[in-house]
């Protein structure tokens, strides 16, 4: 049998190669593990990294760290206040412009505004009669009162009314009563020249109005609404 020394001599080149391979792998593993596992002879300091310098963005008064910035604090604060104030003014003006344009876009167009008024020829309505017109999608009552109706409604004691209102406060011309034909109870349409007081009667829930459109009996809480109107001449009324 070959002796141990002879065997070591024969295998020596292979052992040397294995030794170098293991050493290289250990050294590579130390690099992957980080500074703690790296050999002491490896330099890990990163001296080529530059520290950020913001000198170009700083004001000249505060660049030198050896000088006090107290003397320039007032001017720097004034500049900051000026910028803040100018920004606020511009922002408020921009917000105002945006809101104005938004509201204007939601307003009624010219053709819709044209329909917001109605012109009525009063000569077509006989005395003692009531005519119904459509205005803004609602019924409009125009009543030509007689002298008897005028005197009756003028003499009513307003302290007895649920919604106290004198007749002269509801009409411009005593001969003409112009009200919206919408019951103030639940929005039904009353019947003209009907009811216990000879004015308007709502059959839905039994509300009675007089010839001035005032609630006199029934569940309705308020008088019939009087829209805005004007008389350009004695024979014409414009509502709206």
Which are the catalytic amino acids? 205
**DSSP states of 224-238 as a string?**
PP---EEEEETTEEE
Task: Give the helix/strand (H/E) hosting 216.
Answer: strand 215-217
Is residue 219 within 8 Å of 229, Cβ to Cβ? no
> Structure tokens of 123?
């000569």
Three-class secondary structure of residue 131 per DSSP: strand
Is residue 186 within 8 Å of 141, Cβ to Cβ? no
CA 137 from chain center: how many Å?
A: 27
> Structure tokens of 135?
């205005």
Tell me how far apart the alpha carbons of residues 193 and 197 are, in angstroms, rounded to a whole number. 9
Sole residue written with tokens 């609404």? 225
Using a 10 angstrom Cβ sphere, with 0-12 exposed, 13-18 middle and 19 or more buried, the burial of residue 167 is: buried
Is residue 116 within 8 Å of 136, Cβ to Cβ? yes
């Amino acid at each position: 049998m070959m002796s141990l020394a002879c065997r070591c001599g024969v295998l020596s080149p292979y052992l040397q190669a294995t030794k170098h391979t293991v050493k290289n792998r250990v050294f590579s593993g130390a690099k992957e593990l980080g500074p703690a596992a790296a050999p002491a002879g490896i330099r890990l300091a990163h001296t080529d990294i530059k520290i950020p310098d913001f000198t170009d963005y700083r004001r000249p008064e505060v660049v030198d760290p050896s000088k006090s910035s107290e003397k320039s604090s007032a001017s720097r604060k004034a500049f900051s206040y000026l910028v803040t104030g100018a920004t606020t003014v511009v922002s408020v003006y921009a917000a105002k412009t945006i809101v104005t344009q938004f509201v204007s876009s939601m307003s009624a167009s010219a053709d819709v505004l044209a329909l917001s008024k109605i012109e009525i020829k009063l000569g077509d309505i006989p005395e003692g009669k009531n005519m119904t017109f459509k205005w803004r999608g609602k019924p409009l009552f125009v009543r030509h009162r007689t002298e008897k109706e005028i005197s009756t409604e003028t003499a009513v004691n307003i302290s007895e009314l649920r919604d106290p209102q004198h007749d002269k406060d509801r009409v411009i011309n005593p001969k003409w009563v112009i009200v919206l034909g919408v019951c103030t109870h639940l929005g039904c349409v009353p019947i003209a020249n009907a009811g216990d007081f000879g004015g308007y009667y709502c059959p839905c829930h039994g509300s009675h109005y007089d010839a001035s459109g005032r609630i006199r009996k029934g569940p309705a809480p308020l008088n019939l609404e009087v829209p805005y109107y004007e008389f350009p001449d004695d024979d014409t009324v414009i509502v709206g």
